[in-house]
Amino acid sequence: MTDMPKQQYLSKDNKGWKLRRRVPEKLRDVIGKTQWVERLAGVSHREACERAKTFGVRTDAEIKRYEGQLSRTRVSSTPPKQNEPGFTLELTDHEIDQIAIAYFHELEKGVQSSGGYRKGVTSDNRREVLIELTEEYEEADAIHVGDQSRDIRYPDRAIETAFHHKALQQLIKYQFLEREDYEEVFQRQRGNTTKEYRRLKVSAELKASLGFQKLSDRLAEANLEMARRKLEAVQEGRHPTLHNPAFTPALMPGATIKPHKEIRVDQLVTSYLERRKQEVGKSRYEQLLTACRALKEEVGRKFPITQITREQCQGIADLFVTIPPYARRHYRNLSLRKAAEAHARKTGAPAQRHSEADKNLTVLREIFEFAIDKEWLASNPAQRVKVVKPARPPSFAEHEEGYEPFSIEELQVIFRQPLYTGCKDDGNGINTPGDNHPRRSRFWVPLISAFSGLRMQEILQLERADIQEADGIHFFSVNDKAVGNDYQDGEYAKRLKTQNSLRKVPIHPELIKVGFLEFVDASDREWLFPDMPCMGASKMSDQFSKRFRTFLKPTGISVPRRKVFHSFRNAFNDALRRADVRLEYREQIMGWVDYKKMDARYGHGHLVSQLHDELCRTTYEELDLSHLYVR
């Protein structure tokens, strides 16, 4: 009998030592052979073992390289199939190792529970047992390297069992595959027409999976190692040694091995969003989606989170800078990277959104911190990642960010539109001249913002109870406490941008002349502006913002992300400055400071009468709204 191999991939025949490893079935057409074979002439056993280790590392690298080529070819040439059994199976090397170790541990326990490796072996039957175990080992060796030229009993059935059925059973046992990932085929047992049995059938898609092929190979290694141990125990009359160090954990005293599936990106993002959805509002929740989407697209939904590197996170941070505004709306059906490329082709240069990138990078770090809290990760791969910013822009003026205020001339144009002089209606006919003079949300909200500085959301959520009077002075009570009780579910939700937004702002005399107080008195609901639909929107301002853009577009004033509704608020702040209103008054009127802190600084704080006096001095010179006055 030939000497037993003492190292993985190393064997010996009548010509001497040789290295042999089976090429994974899926890669045979790509590599052009079924196995790697190298002859080792004139070397010692120790040197042959060292060469075998190098051989294993080298062929591992080849397998990974060809797997990458095959994966890229598959992605580029074949559209992904849906709902195919096992098609989405992806196994990491760690998962494959754990399953193989657990399988070998089961084999070892089976031997020990039956009485040990030499149970039932006597001097009388030792020769026959050795012959049987030798055949078992040679068959396992041939199956492992895929050599069907050897005299194997039932080669197709043996290979199917070793490479497919056992791998499938292990995947199902440890919940790496669900019930729908394999087929249950009922077949009648030969010779018995009354009894049926179940047999698991491996689907073609599952067989084609590279991870499944690799797992099958590892289980074949386990079978080979177990066959060698049985033969060694009987041949040498002692407890066998372990020649394949990969299975060492299976033989540790008291070992309990239960493979588990590593957390993938998709599971991390889903869990993170489920928790954050309970903690933040709908608007903030939607802001989190960009970072989550980028992580899934750039790294891969099925990628193990423990293998995410800082380099990958830096690539995502660089992508954040170039994502165009409203990418989901303007570049539908495109990934974020493809959207960034399309935007660069369209505009001639990539987007440079560094402030947005910083926000998204903060969310990305938060996602990984969530994983650390769940004990899914040991460290945050995005912790030291930074958004790369230029030293300085070529022109500060050209790169100035923020909303521009409406000029007096632009305000004159806005308040001379058909909505304010006579239109068809305040719906689709808002820009069409007509005989109607509707005074609802689209009429009042721009006026209120222009003469109070209130934000769009703050105005749209006003109730009659928020229009208050003290010492003959009417004022807006800006708050987030709803008073009305006749709202439908999802119709109304009061909210403020910050705690500093909680304040009292006197109603400008110009609004009183236009008839705002009469409008409040005539309201038939507690909510002043119920005509603006907001069902299903994250904020009341969502729909109004879109409709205001429709209203402003024919004027020629609208400039995306420059001249928008918020420009009313900026214009009013400029008017306060022109009237020499002191900074502390402006901050309280605009909601930039906590009014409680103002109380601490100024005793009882600024009385509404003081703010009213400052507001009355604030005007827009040459802006004539007399055509809107109530006579």
24-28, 38-42, 200-204, 567-571 — which is least confidently predicted?
A: 200-204
- Establish if 379 belongs to a structural domain: no
pLDDT digits (tens, 9 = 90+) for 463-521: 999 999 988 899 999 998 888 776 665 566 777 878 888 889 999 999 999 999 999 99
Q: Which of 329, 357, 373 is the last residue of a domain?
A: 373
| Predicted TM-score of the model (pTM) | 0.55
Residue 364: its pLDDT value, please?
96
Do 101 and 236 lie in one domain? The reply is yes
Does 331 share its domain with 244? Answer: no
Tokens representing residue 358 in the block: 């910083």
Residue 249 CB partners (closer than 8 Å, separation 6+) = 101, 105, 255, 257
Decide which of 197, 217, 251 is a domain's last residue: 251
For residues 453 and 542, state if they share a domain.
Answer: yes
Residue 440 domain-assigned (yes or no): yes
pLDDT interval class at 42 (50, 70, 90): confident
Q: Residues 205, 307: one domain?
A: no
pLDDT of the residue at 396: 46
Q: Regarding predicted confidence, which is higher, 292 or 33?
A: 292
The alpha-helical segments, DSSP class H, found in 441-540 are 441-450, 456-460, 509-514, 516-522
Residues paired with residue 503 on neighbouring β-strands, in sequence order: 478
Domain boundary residue among 199, 228, 251? 251
Q: pLDDT grade, residue 206 (50/70/90)?
A: confident
Q: What is the CATH number of the domain that holds 584?
A: 1.10.443.10
Do residue 171 and residue 305 come from a single domain?
Answer: no
Residue 400 lies in a domain: no
How far is Cα 328 from Cα 313, in angstroms, rounded to an integer?
A: 21
**pLDDT at site 392:** 59
Claim to verify: residue 479 and residue 364 sit in the same structural domain: no
Asked if the structure places residue 190 within a domain, the reply is yes
Task: Assess whether pLDDT exceeds 70 at residue 186.
Answer: no
- Taking only the tens place, the pLDDT of each residue in 331-375 is 888 999 999 999 999 888 899 999 999 999 999 999 999 999 999
Looking at the fold, whether 39 and 135 belong to one and the same domain comes out as yes
Range of the domain at 275: 265-373
CA angle 592, 597, 602 (to 5 degrees): 110
Q: Average pLDDT over the chain, rounded to whole?
A: 82
List pLDDT tens digits, range 52-104: 888 888 888 788 777 766 665 554 444 444 334 334 577 888 889 899 999 99
Asked if residue 299 is part of any domain, the answer here is yes
Mean pLDDT for 195-208 is: 62
How would residue 533 be classed by pLDDT, with cut points 50, 70 and 90? low
Same domain, 43 and 178: yes
Q: Is residue 393 part of a domain?
A: no
Q: Are residues 488 and 533 in the same domain?
A: yes
Same domain for 270 and 230: no
- For the segment 160-185, the average pLDDT, to the nearest whole number, is 68
**Phi, psi dihedrals of residue 166, rounded to the nearest 5°:** -65, -40
389, part of any domain: no
Question: Residue 375, by phi and psi: left (phi above 0), alpha (psi -120 to 50) or beta?
Answer: left
Contacts of 524 (CB under 8 A, 6+ apart): none
Query: Could you tell me if 103 and 162 lie in one domain?
Result: yes
Asked whether residue 213 is domain-assigned, the answer is yes
pLDDT digits over 589-610, tens only?
898 876 555 444 444 445 788 8
Distance set, CA 278 to CA 21, 271, 274, 540 (Å): 53, 12, 7, 20
In order of 30, 88, 169, 206, 379, the CA distances from 25 in angstroms are 10, 19, 20, 13, 37
Query: CB 90: neighbour CB atoms within 10 A?
Result: 16
* pLDDT higher than 50, residue 148: no
Residues 529, 462, single domain; the answer is yes
Which of 216, 241, 244, 307 lies closest to 56 in space, CA to CA? 244
Q: How many domains does the chain divide into?
A: 3
Q: Which residues of 292-307 are buried (b: 16+ CB within 10 A; e: fewer)?
A: bbbbbbbbeeebbbee
